[in-house]
Every structure is written in C-alpha cells, then in structure tokens.
Amino acid sequence: MKKILLLLVFLLGLTSCDLNNDEEHVIGIVKSEFIKDLKQKGLTPFMTGGGLGKNFEIAVGFECFQKVNISDARKLGVGCALAMLKKYNTNKKFREKTPYYPLNIRDIVILIGFRNEDGKSMKSGYVANMGVSRNKIYYTYCDEKTEKLIKFHEESFEEALRIVEAEKASNKNSL
C-alpha cells in the first residue's frame, strides 16, 4: 500500500511539474521549429538558451560557412530576427500559454558565427561574428595576429532594419 501511495505522489508531482513548465515547453517547441527553418537555409545551430521571468529572453546561436561583409551580415541578422519574432508571435500556443506575447526585439538574442572550412572565424576583411541582442546589432572581426574577436560596429536594430529596407528598395528600383 505504501508503494502505491508513493507512486501516486510521484505521478502527481510529475503532473504538477509538467503544468508549471508549460511555458518553457511551448517556448522550446517554437524555438525548435525556428531552428529547423534556419537549418534549411544553411545555418548550423550550435547554441540555445534563455531565461524566464523578469529577465526573459530567448537565445539561439548558429554557424554560417560563408564569407560575408557587414551588409550581408546585417541582412542575415535582421532577417533571422524578424523570422524569429514572426514564428513566436503567430504561434497560438505561445500567445495563449505564456505571458511574453507579443515577443519583441528586446526579448531575443541571435548569434551567428561566420566560419571558414576549418571551422575557424573568418579573417581578412570579413565579419567573424554578428549578434542581435537587446535591440542592438553588433559585428566583430577576427584579428589575424591575436585571433581575438574585436567589435568594429554596433547599431540599433531599427537602424539596421532601415538600412536593409533601403537597400531592398534601391535594388528593386535599379531593376
């Protein structure tokens, strides 16, 4: 009888834990869908994380095996951020089961490391890493002598979005 009672308490405990983790579960499912989408676009996931509550954020990191300049990195970062926001904000379960709707740019962290074939950071005039974090986008290069990453540019997400949209409009008009 004691064993059955202990089993029942254990199972009830599992059920209540599952209910308390409903937010985390929904966030994780949507994050997995987002990562799958970006894998299909050639990005390799290497990190996920985040936090709930007062310091809420959703973090993902990818590797990209392409040489990019700041303009290409900006387009990729802005595109990933907008896709992530759309993925979460259009998800019915995220809207219903979490207090974090609507997700905004301050709630996400996206890191993209640009690597060569050896898996090392890009050098010689290319962006090595870019990150979207707390409404900012930053870009680094890899110093060839020290192999340290050095931030060379930072801009607000809104500024980066305006630049990307202006470039799209310019390219559209030149066709």
For the chain, where are the E strands, in sequence order?
44-51, 57-64, 108-114, 129-133, 136-142, 149-156
Give residue-wise pLDDT tens across range 8-47: 333 333 333 333 478 889 999 999 999 999 999 899 999 9
Angle between helices 157-174 and 70-89 (to 10 degrees): 110
Q: What is the CA radius of gyration of the chain?
A: 20
Token pair listed for 159: 């500024």
How much is the pTM? 0.83
Nearest-angstrom CA–CA distance, 130 and 65: 13
Do 30 and 94 contact (CB within 8 A), yes or no? Answer: yes
What's the pLDDT tens digit per position in 51-93?
A: 888 889 999 999 999 999 999 999 999 999 999 999 999 999 9
